[in-house]
Chains A and B, each alone.
Chain A
Amino acid sequence: MSGRRDLALLGGDPVVPNAPSVRWPPVTEDDARLVADMALAGELSYYGRREGHVRELEDKFNAYLGTRYALATSSGTAALHSAYFGLGLEPGSEVLAPTYTFLATVMPLFVVNAVPVLVDADPTTGNIDPGDLERHVTDRTRAIVVTHLWGNPVDMPAIMEIARRRGLMVVEDCSHAHGATCDGRASWHVRGRRRLQPAGQEAGGGRPGRHPGHRQPGALRARRAAGTLQRAGIRGRPQRDLRPVRVHGLRPELPDARPGRRDRQPADGPAGGIRGRAAAQPRASLGAAGPRARHRASWPEPPGQPAGVLQLQADVPRRGPRRAPDRRVRGGAAGGGRAGRAGIRCRRCTPRRSSRTSGRR
C-alpha cells in the first residue's frame, strides 16, 4: 500500500504542479468597455443587415479570409443553421454527416427538416471517412457536412472529388479549425495530410486549444452566392423566434472585429479574441452579474466542444452565374488563416473553373 504514496491522488507530488487554468470565455476589460460604450450609445440592435459593429466585423472577417461574403451569427450552431437554410434544402433532403462530431453539427438539420445521414469515422483522425461516404449517397442526398475535429483537417480533396462527381454541396464545420491554414499546395498533396495551423500560431501567439476563433461569432462565407447569403441572412431577422440567430448590436464579440485580433493573441494572459456566447455575457463582464449571468458563468463546457461556438463559412463556385449559386458551400470556422488565401483548402481541391459540376437539385 505504501507503494502508492507517490500518487498525487494520495497526496504524492503531482507531476503537473500548476495546471493551467481554463477561463472561458476570456473577456478583457477592453471588451467590457466597448460593450458598455455600445450600450450607452443605445446600440442594442440593428435593423438592416449591414450596420454598425456587425458590418465592421463582417468586413474585417472578409478581409481576413479574403472572401466576399461573411455573415455574423450568434453562435456556431446558428451559423450551421443559417448555412443549411441558405442551401435551400428541401424537406427530406439528406445530408451526409460525420457520426463522430459534436451534436450541433447535425441538430440544425432537423430544424430545417433535412435528414442527417451518418457516416463512419476515419480511424486515425476521427474525422468523416471519405471511403465510407459514397455508400450512403441516395437520390435524395443533397449535401455533405464535415467537421475538422481537434484541428485535424478532413481529407478535403477526397470529399470534394465525391461532391463534384455527385453534385453535392459541401459545408465545413470548422469550429475546431478556426483561422487555420494548410501549409502549402505541395505539402498538401505530397504528404497527403495537411497540417492545419491556426493563424495565431504562425504569428507566434495562439495555440489550437485556446484559439480565439473558437468563440467567434459564426460567419458564413459564400463566394458568389448572394442568394445563399440572402437566405442564410433571413434566418435571423424578421421572425421573433429566430432572433437569437443573427448577431445584433450588443454582443461582446463585436468590438474591434475579432478576426484581426486573432493574430495578436498574446503569448501570455488571456486570449484576446473570443467573446461570450450570449447577450448575457456583457452583463457579467460589466460587473453587473445578475442571477442569469452567474448561471451562465457556471455552465460547464459541453463535452467535446471546446469551442461552444462553431463558425461557418460558405464558399460557392465562382463562375457560372446561371448555375444554381450554392453548389458548393464551405463552411466552418477554419478556412481562413492567412488572409483566406490558403485556409484549409488548397487550390487543387478547390476548383475555381466553371467546369465544376453543375450538380443537381
Chain B
Amino acid sequence: MPPLHTTPIFQDERPPLISHGVPETLASGAERRTYEPGSFPSSEAYAARVLALPAYTDPVRDVLDSFVAAFAKVAERADDLHRYAAERAAASPVRAG
C-alpha cells in the first residue's frame, strides 16, 4: 500500500474530483497541495518494509508458526531466490514496448 502522497491523486496539478469548483482554491494558500516522493519520509520507510498477509477467513492460529518459518526460509535463501529470479528474467525477457 503506497502512501497516498506518492499517488497521482496527490501529485497531479488538478484534483481527482471537481464537483463544485476546486475546493483547494478556498483552502489555505488558495492552491492545490501537491506532494512529492520524500514529502513524508517516515511513511515511505514504513511502507517499504511492511508486508501484509491476506485477511484469512480460515483459522490461522495453528499455522502461524509455519508462516514464521516460511518468512525465515525466504530470508535465508534470499540469494538463491534472487539468482533464480534473474535466471528466469534472462530466459524470458520481457518484451519491450
Taking Cβ atoms with an 8 Å cutoff, the residues of A that contact B are: 3-4, 7, 9-10, 14-24, 26, 90-94, 97-103, 106-107, 110-111, 113-123, 126, 129, 132, 138-141, 150, 207, 209-210, 214, 267-268, 270-271, 301, 303-307
Contact = CB atoms under 8 A, between A and B. Distances in A.
Nearest to A210: B57
A99 B52 contact: no
Contact of B23 (A3, A18, A91, A102): A91
A98 B3 CA distance: 9
B6 to A, nearest CB: 8
A114 B33 CA distance: 12
A140 B57 contact: no
A150 B52 contact: yes
The 10 closest A-B pairs by CB, nearest first: A92-B26, A304-B1, A306-B55, A121-B43, A20-B58, A138-B28, A120-B40, A113-B23, A100-B43, A15-B70
Contact of A210 (B40, B43, B55, B70): B55
Interface of B: 1, 3-5, 7, 9-10, 15-17, 19-21, 23-29, 33, 35, 39-43, 45-47, 50, 52-61, 63, 66-67, 69-70, 73, 77, 80-81, 84
A4 B63 CA distance: 24
B3 A99 contact: yes
Contacts of A100: 1, 3-4, 40, 43, 46-47
A268 B61 CA distance: 11
B52 A115 contact: no
Contacts of B21: 91, 113
Contact of B43 (A94, A115, A126): A126
B60 to A, nearest CB: 5
A20 B62 CA distance: 10
